[in-house]
Chains A and B, each alone.
Chain A
Amino acid sequence: MRTKVMKVLGSQAFWRGIVAIVVFLVLWEIGSRSKMWMAYEVFSPLREALGAMGFKKNYLPWVGAVPAPSGVVMAWVDVLGHAGYWQSWYMSFLRVIGGFAAAMLIGIPFGLMLAVNRVAHGIGFPTFEVLRPIPPLAWVPASIIFWPTQELAIMFITFLGAFYTIVINVVGGAKSIDVRYFHAAQSMGASRWDIFRRIVLPGTLPSIVVGSAVGMGITWEVVVAAEMISGGGSQMGGSGGGLGFFIWNSYVGGSYEQIVVGMISIGIAGFFSSELLRGFGSLLTPWLKVR
């Protein structure tokens, strides 16, 4: 473990990454303070050029309107003490976990069934393929109407986000298991159930892990948008509506630093949940690690 850390610290790629991030932050800071330094006389040609292109003259386009990293950090420190911020994390996580768990519980058996049973495939797959291209967000109005509570509506949409990816991965994974393994198991006298349990299931496991990790990413994309559109369950009062609503609320309230805080929070949340899944997945598939 220790040597692994040392190895990472000693590698060029690691420091290249660090330098890149620092440079990015510095450029961002400079860019967002463009209102200050562009006031100097030296930059009047730049101001004229921007004006000629139809931009505002007194700051850089886009980056000049973005809050500075220093401001974001300050806003973050400020918000850390507020229960509402953590409530947003909690609400979003609840929805993600709920939708994701449902997608796993339904998606994995459903995918396996489509993969191993020709009749089930014939019945289930066409319908699935027709519904799949509908983006989860297109379901927002319908699910708000059809589900009794807003909470369930949002969870349903996050469920959809992960469900399709998981099913597609499970079906693809199970179908790509080499026929040699089936032949081998069959000729050793294995029953259909045994082949399913000890060949199909472990053979599909790597694809299930990949599908879940990707699905988890989509779940975060979807939950945020659903929270924004649906008002994030505003019956919870104020900022109790999840990270998506946190961003929306900051936008309405004009706190641009907080928008960025919310964005980065979602990035962190998504990253950690995917990493957690990957770590758990590699525990489940030890044979992939050893090559």
Chain B
Amino acid sequence: MADDSANRVQAGEIAVEGVSKSYGMAKMQKEVVRGCTFTIERGKLTVMIGPSGCGKSTLIRLLAGFESPSAGRIALDGEEIRSPSRDRLVLFQESALFPWMTTWNNVMYGPRARGEAGPETVEFAEFLLQKVGLTEFRNKYPGQLSGGMQRRAELARAMINNPKVMILDEPFRGLDAMTKELMWEYYSRLFEENRRTNFFVTTDIDEAVFLADRILVMSNIPTQVRAEIEVDLPRPRRLADLVESDRANDIKKQALSILHAEAMRSFSRGSKAAADFVEAYLKRESRGS
């Protein structure tokens, strides 16, 4: 079954070319995304990291097709993105599980809505539920699940649709540290098994380094790509190994110093959130980690 599900995977590639997005008119106009160009590579896990409130979520809405860019072009496998589609499924920060459906019905929603709920799909749904450890919770409503379980149910609900690209917007934000690490393991195992194209947005550097094949470091608002870092750590990864890996720590330092420079720039423009970041960064440096 595992091989079978892997065979279904059609990984896509998204090209973002010179994309800008502004809101408001004339004088009130605010530019949120400015001239972004990057590629979400086929079968890779691309992580985008940037200071909070930098316009990452806007970028995600553009990728999902809920909004269109003011300038530039976003294309999936050469075809321009115009509207939401099952090809690009988004997991948002807050749970979007339907509260009135059980876990099972939530997972089966996509196939049923498209009239594709055959026995094969049912089998796949069972397989996915087992993968995310929710087999026993299939008849529970989202309100009965813990935060971590909800996120996992949502992962399963997205993956059953075999999207060409999975887009995740800080999906593990707000979970406690232990649950978060558990989620990383679940998630990276799912990724390693089927190598879908994944685009993962976060503000957490540890999360980024543990998960990513490639990290895009973003600037402050209006958001631009500041740097691209290849994360050439071997897979499958384990958290314990990563803590001791010099390579992982190097990457972390590299990303943090770019984020620090970014924070300094916005700090000088009066951002309080940036001040927190600068302070935390300096402390970390003085500890020599």
Interface residues of chain A, those whose CB is within 8 Å of chain B, are: 178, 180-181, 183-191, 194, 198-199, 202-203, 205, 285-288, 290-291
Cβ of A189 and Cβ of B86 under 8 Å apart? Answer: yes
Check A290–B114 contact: CB distance below 8 A: no
User: Which secondary structure dominates where chain B touches chain A?
Assistant: loop
Cβ–Cβ contact B113 & A191, under 8 A: yes
Q: What are 8 A-to-B residue pairs whose CB atoms are below 8 Å?
A: A181-B96, A187-B89, A188-B113, A188-B161, A198-B98, A287-B143, A290-B140, A291-B144
Does B153 touch A at the CB level, under 8 Å?
no
**Separation in Å of the A202 CB from the closest CB of chain B?**
4
**A291 and B143 within 8 A (CB):** yes
| B64 proximal to A (CB < 8 A) | yes
Tell which of A187, A194, A198 touches B85, judged by Cβ atoms closer than 8 Å: A187
Cα separation A234 to B212 with both chains bound (whole Å): 82
- Residues of A close to B88: CB separation below 8 A: 187
Cα separation A186 to B109 with both chains bound (whole Å): 11
Flag if A203 contacts B100 (CB, 8 Å). yes
Closest to A291 in B: B143
Q: How many A-B residue pairs have CB under 8 A?
A: 71
Tell me, in angstroms, the Cα distance from A189 to B142 when the chains sit together: 21
- Whether B35 is near chain A, meaning CB under 8 Å from some CB there, is no
Smallest CB–CB gap between B5 and chain A, Å?
18
- Write out the residue numbers on chain A whose beta carbons fall within 8 Å of the beta carbon of B89: 187-188
Return B224 CB to nearest CB of chain A, in Å: 26
Task: List the B side residues contacting A199 at CB < 8 Å.
Answer: 98
Q: How far is the CB of A288 from the nearest CB of chain B, in Å?
A: 8
Q: Is the CB of B90 within 8 A of A183?
A: yes
- In-complex Cβ contact of B99 among A186, A188, A191, A287 (8 A): A287
Query: Is there a chain A Cβ closer than 8 Å to B94's Cβ?
Result: yes
Partner of B109 from A188, A205, A291 at Cβ < 8 Å: A188
Q: From residue B124, how far is it (CB to closest CB) to chain A in Å?
A: 15
Contact of B143 among A180, A203, A290 (CB under 8 A): A290
Q: Are A188 and B86 in contact (CB under 8 A)?
A: yes
Determine whether the beta carbon of A189 is less than 8 Å from that of B113.
yes
Q: How far is the CB of A211 from chain B (nearest CB, A)?
A: 17
Q: Given A180-B92, A180-B94, A180-B96, A286 and B141 touching (CB < 8 A)?
A: yes
Tell me the bound Cα distance from A202 to B102 in angstroms.
13
- Give the distance to chain B from A203, nearest Cβ to Cβ, in Å: 7
Q: Which residues of B contact A184 (CB under 8 A)?
A: 96, 98
Interface residues of B in 79-130 (CB under 8 A from A): 84-86, 88-90, 92, 94, 96, 98-101, 109-110, 113-114
Bound state CA distance, A28 and B161, in angstroms? 68
B100 touches A205 (CB 8 A): yes
B: contact size bracket: 20 to 34
By a CB distance below 8 angstroms, the chain B residues around A202 are 98, 100-101
Q: Which residues of A contact B84 (CB under 8 A)?
A: 183, 186-187
Residue of A nearest to B65 (CB): A187
- Decide: A198 and B109 in contact? CB cutoff 8 A: yes
Chain B residues with Cβ below 8 Å from A291 are 143-144
Q: Could you tell me the distance between the alpha carbons of A166 and B89 in the complex, rounded to whole angstroms?
A: 36
Residue B66, interface by CB 8 Å: yes
CA distance A185 to B86 in the complex (A): 9
A290 touches B113 (CB 8 A): no
6 tightest A-B CB contacts, nearest first: A188-B110, A190-B113, A202-B100, A180-B96, A189-B86, A287-B141
Contacts of A198 in B (CB 8 A): 98, 101, 109, 113
The CA-CA distance from A189 to B98 in the complex, in Å, is 15
Residues of B within 8 A of A285 (CB): 100
Beyond the given A183-B84, A287-B99, A290-B141, could you list 9 further A-B residue pairs with CB under 8 A, ordered by the A residue number?
A181-B98, A183-B66, A185-B113, A187-B89, A189-B85, A189-B161, A286-B141, A288-B143, A290-B144
- B residues near A286, Cβ cutoff 8 Å: 141
Looking at the assembled complex, report how far the CB atom of B144 sits from the nearest CB atom of chain A, in whole angstroms. Answer: 5
Name the residue on B nearest A197 (C-beta). Answer: B113
Q: Which residues of A contact B100 (CB under 8 A)?
A: 202-203, 205, 285, 287
Count chain A CB atoms within 10 A of each CB in B88, B99, B142, B143 and give the residue with the most: B99
B52-69 interface bits toward A, Cβ cutoff 8 Å, 1 = contact, 0 = none: 000000000000111000
Q: Which of B84, B85, B90, B100 has the most CB of A within 10 A?
A: B100
A185 touches which of B92, B109, B141 (Cβ 8 Å): B109
Q: What's the Cα separation between A148 and B266 when bound, in Å?
A: 76
Which of B94, B110, B143 meets A189, CB within 8 Å? B110
Contact yes or no, A187 B64, CB < 8 A: yes
- Residues of A near B114 (CB, < 8 A) are 188-190
> A108–B99 Cα gap in the complex (Å)?
21
Tell me the smallest distance from the CB of A53 to a CB of chain B, in Å: 58
Q: Chain A residues with Cβ under 8 A from B109's Cβ?
A: 185, 188, 190, 198
Chain A residues with CB under 8 A of B101:
198, 202, 287
Cα distance, A44 to B83, chains bound together (Å): 86
Partner among B86, B94, B140, B143 whose Cβ is within 8 Å of the Cβ of A187: B86
Q: What's the nearest-Cβ distance from chain B to residue A179, in Å?
A: 9
A287 CA / B157 CA spacing, docked (Å): 19
